[in-house]
Amino acid sequence: MQTLAKRVEQIAPFQVMAVMERAKQLQAVGKDVIHLEVGEPDFSAPAAVNEAGMAAIRDGKTGYTAATGLPELRQAISDFYQQRYDVNVAPERIVVTPGASGALLLLSSLMAEVGSEVLMPDPCYPCNRHFLLQVGAKARMLECLSENNFEIDLSALEGHWQEQTTGLWLASPANPTGSVLSADYIAKAWEIVKQQGGHMLVDEIYQGLVFDGEDFTALSVSDDIFVVNSFSKYFAMTGWRLGWIVVPQWAIEGATKLAQNLFISAPSIAQHAALRAFQPDVLAECEQRRQTLAERRMTLVQGLERLGLPIASAPQGAFYVYVDVSSITSDAMQWCLALLQTEFVALTPGADFGMKDAHKYVRFAYTCDCARIEQALQRIERFIQS
């Protein structure tokens, strides 16, 4: 009998998929489900971006591009860093990838050896550790405290470094907590990692969606930090599957070889569409959407406070609020399923993101309008009282 590769057994399924499957079943029989579980706002890509993609199809721009991306798109990303963050990033350091997931897979292949490990905060985005498994490496999750906004304690970071440790992966703004790291924190973390001879990644795919704290790039700290970004969040181009990674000068050749072999190229139509994303009118539209998300954030935060549900860390960015439900349940997953079944509100259990005390937490995504968020809060209040 044929068997699957052993690495498959080590990949945990998303618990939220059970929530989403049940939500679909309820919707199919006419139930009004409010979706606060999915990390995708109810925005589509800006109309001008969609039109640029359709124009690319009409004009026959549907073939392979260079493995590292359209030269003009890499230049546009470079210009964006310069104009928005006053950081000079040479276009040749930018590799356009099939989504940020492609960038993370590329980085795993580029910097992780078989048997090596990468340090990550607990909680964090779960796919990161699964990308490492694909190359025979692994993640070691470092327990982070809610009172410290789930940031790794840098005073203990050097003590966590072992012979097989090769790097540190951070995210800002972070999923699931919405926490935003400061430039000072990034600089201190990089100094420690550099002294250990390791590499550091800062996942910036929610860059631009900052409401409190600094909206900056880790590239302002050092050219030797790896940075991953995406067109999915700020630009709302989720299904276009387009991201990028900025690599140090010394890693360009290796990253290019991997891009050639892993992807051939990112989707050409998406790349031509993304060129339009950097024009002033589209950027203005994206900024207006950020303001809309800020209003939704305030509605949700105030509502949760009214219900007496503690917010685990200050939701400074992205579009998530991480909530401690341990005062009303000992099993967040079962609580989420019961809430969905009874009041038709879908949330994401914390076990998808962390290991330590993950059963205590639930992620709320403020990805629908304020009226629906208020309605969800009313349903949750009724569920808690019952």
Cα–Cα separations (whole angstroms), residue 168 to 206, 220, 251: 19, 18, 17
Cα(25)–Cα(159) distance, integer angstroms: 48
- Tens of pLDDT, residue by residue over 153-185, are 999 999 999 999 999 999 999 999 999 999 999
Cα(220)–Cα(213) distance, integer angstroms: 16
**Cα dihedral 297, 302, 307, 311 sign:** positive
Neighbouring residues of 299: CB distance < 8 A, sequence distance ≥ 6: 366, 370, 373, 374
Surface-to-core class of residue 261, CB atoms within 10 Å of its CB (0-12 exposed, 13-18 middle, 19+ buried): exposed
Cα(144)–Cα(157) distance, integer angstroms: 12
Cα(138)–Cα(217) distance, integer angstroms: 26
Do 6-44+282-385 and 47-279 share a fold? no
Strands 138-143 and 117-122: parallel
Q: H helices of the chain, where?
A: 6-9, 16-28, 47-58, 71-85, 99-111, 127-133, 157-160, 183-195, 252-262, 268-277, 280-307, 332-343, 370-385
- Tens of pLDDT, residue by residue over 336-379, are 999 999 999 999 999 989 888 989 999 999 999 999 999 999 99
Confidence of residue 48 (pLDDT cuts 50, 70, 90): very high
Which residue from 14, 15, 39, 80 is spatially nearest to 276, judged by alpha carbons? 80
Write down the domain spans for the chain: 6-44+282-385, 47-279
Q: Is the pTM of this model over 0.75?
A: yes
Let me know: does 150 contact 121? Beta carbons within 8 Å: yes
Phi then psi for 38, rounded to 5 degrees?
-90, 135
**Side-chain half-sphere CA neighbours of 316 within 13 A:** 17
Q: What is the DSSP string of 131-172?
A: HHHTTT-EEEEEE--GGGTT---GGGHHHH--TTEEEEEEES
Which pair of structure tokens corresponds to residue 273?
């569409």
Confidence of residue 20 (pLDDT cuts 50, 70, 90): confident
Let me know: does 235 contact 244? Beta carbons within 8 Å: no
Confidence of residue 213 (pLDDT cuts 50, 70, 90): confident
CATH number of this structure's domain 6-44+282-385: 3.90.1150.10
- Tens of pLDDT, residue by residue over 269-328, are 999 999 999 999 999 999 999 999 999 999 999 999 999 999 999 899 999 999 999 999
Counting every residue, how long is the chain?
386
Tell me: domain 47-279, CATH 2.60.120.10, correct?
no
